[in-house]
């Protein structure tokens, strides 16, 4: 009888302690967080009358069902571990999934649609607690709200002129949403440290650089403020043409000629192969010609092929950003 009473007491104490732990957790971490973000109001992808607005988005913490329209965020959450963040069900974009994230391209993960268009039938059945969108899907904000009962929507679009700052901001927001997990802070410190290391090398080298994207037989150039402007803005590489893009953000790049490349004569050429990024035939061979080969970059073996998946498909991720940093650092090894 004494043994039975002792066991009952132990079980009762354990239950009370467990209950107290839950209560303490609820007291120390809120059920929602409010995140200030810029959202796009549009009726379609091609809406020329779209507007933007700064809003305070109320987002439930530790969401169980999460729909993700951004491979960068999927990269971040996967690095920490979906199970470690308490996520029980996922919906993702299942087209062009990077090979290192292919473990999510399975039947148990819902198809959320494309990077540009949600599949509302699937999302309605999925019933997400949180939907994460980015630049390609930014236009869907109002439609997601209307179709999914006012669901919380987090916009993780990256500011091209402040790439790392944007990534850090997104990771801090994700940390708030997912229970204050300190792994986010460790990842942020790593990215900042490695960026600073390359910046010191780049500034000391005084190498003039040109960013190029190949796509079939076409080549496009990218300057300060472009989608690949991280190279100039935060990694510290001097642009070979500081006026490139006529002073605009040059987000989509400008078609350039091989004669332009020869005249500019960059010391370094960073190349993104778009065709390879989207699963087509590699197109970097288009740069193997007399005009490009006459440049300092070619003569000194400083034509650097960047990881097209990291730079073009998984922008804003943790591992992808580490890859981007290491890609540029390669010229110093």
Using alpha carbons only, what angle is made at residue 188 by residues 71 and 100, rounded to the nearest 5 degrees? 30
Q: What is the pLDDT of residue 250?
A: 53
Q: What is the pLDDT of residue 252?
A: 65
CA atoms within 13 A on the CB side of 189: 5
* 59-118 pLDDT, tens digit each: 999 999 999 999 999 999 999 999 999 999 999 999 989 999 999 999 999 999 999 999
pTM over 0.85: yes
Domain that holds residue 55: 32-157
* 238-291 pLDDT, tens digit each: 999 887 755 455 556 788 999 999 999 999 999 999 988 888 888 989 999 999
Give the pairing type, strands 32-41 and 89-93.
unpaired
Q: What is the pLDDT of residue 28?
A: 75
Question: Are 129 and 229 part of one and the same domain?
Answer: no
pLDDT band of 23, cuts 50, 70, 90: very low
CA atoms within 13 A on the CB side of 237: 31
Query: Got the DSSP string for 138-168?
Result: GGGHHHHHHHTTS-EEEE----GGGHHHHHH
Does residue 17 lie in a domain region? no
Question: Are 216 and 117 part of one and the same domain?
Answer: no
Question: What secondary structure letter does DSSP report for 187?
Answer: H
Question: Are 149 and 209 part of one and the same domain?
Answer: no
Does residue 185 lie in a domain region? no
Q: What is the pLDDT of residue 226?
A: 87
Contact 40, 139 (CB under 8 A): yes
Residue 166, pLDDT > 80, answer: yes
Contact 22, 40 (CB under 8 A): no
Q: Provide the CATH number for the domain around residue 59.
A: 3.40.50.1980
Count of structural domains within the chain = 2
Contact 239, 208 (CB under 8 A): yes
């Amino acid at each position: 009888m004494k043994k039975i009473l002792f066991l009952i007491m132990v079980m009762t104490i354990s239950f009370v302690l467990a209950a107290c732990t839950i209560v303490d957790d609820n007291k120390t971490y809120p059920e929602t967080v409010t995140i200030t973000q810029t959202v796009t109001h549009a009726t379609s992808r091609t809406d020329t009358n779209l507007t933007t607005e700064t809003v305070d988005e109320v987002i439930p913490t530790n969401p169980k069902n999460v729909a993700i329209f951004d491979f960068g965020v999927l990269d971040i959450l996967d690095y920490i571990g979906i199970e470690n963040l308490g996520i029980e069900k996922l919906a993702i974009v299942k087209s062009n999934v990077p090979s290192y994230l292919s473990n999510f391209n399975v039947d148990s993960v819902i198809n959320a649609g494309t990077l540009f268009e949600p599949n509302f039938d699937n999302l309605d059945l999925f019933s997400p607690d949180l939907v994460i969108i980015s630049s390609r899907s930014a236009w869907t904000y109002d439609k997601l709200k209307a179709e999914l009962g006012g669901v919380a929507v987090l916009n993780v679009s990256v500011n091209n002129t402040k790439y790392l700052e944007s990534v850090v901001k997104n990771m801090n927001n994700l940390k708030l949403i997912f229970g204050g997990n300190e792994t986010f802070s460790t990842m942020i410190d790593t990215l900042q440290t490695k960026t600073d290391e390359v910046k010191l090398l780049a500034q000391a080298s005084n190498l003039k650089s040109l960013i190029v994207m190949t796509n079939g037989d076409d080549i496009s150039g990218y300057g300060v403020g472009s989608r690949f402007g991280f190279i100039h803005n935060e990694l510290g590489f001097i642009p070979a043409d500081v006026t490139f893009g006529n002073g605009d953000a040059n987000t989509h790049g400008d078609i350039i000629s091989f004669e332009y490349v020869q005249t500019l004569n960059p010391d370094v050429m960073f190349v993104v192969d778009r065709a390879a990024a989207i699963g087509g035939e590699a197109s970097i061979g288009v740069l193997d010609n007399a005009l490009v080969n006459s440049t300092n970059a070619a003569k000194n073996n400083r034509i650097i092929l960047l990881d097209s998946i990291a730079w073009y498909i998984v922008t804003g991720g943790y591992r992808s950003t580490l890859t981007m940093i290491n890609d540029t650092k390669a010229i110093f090894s």
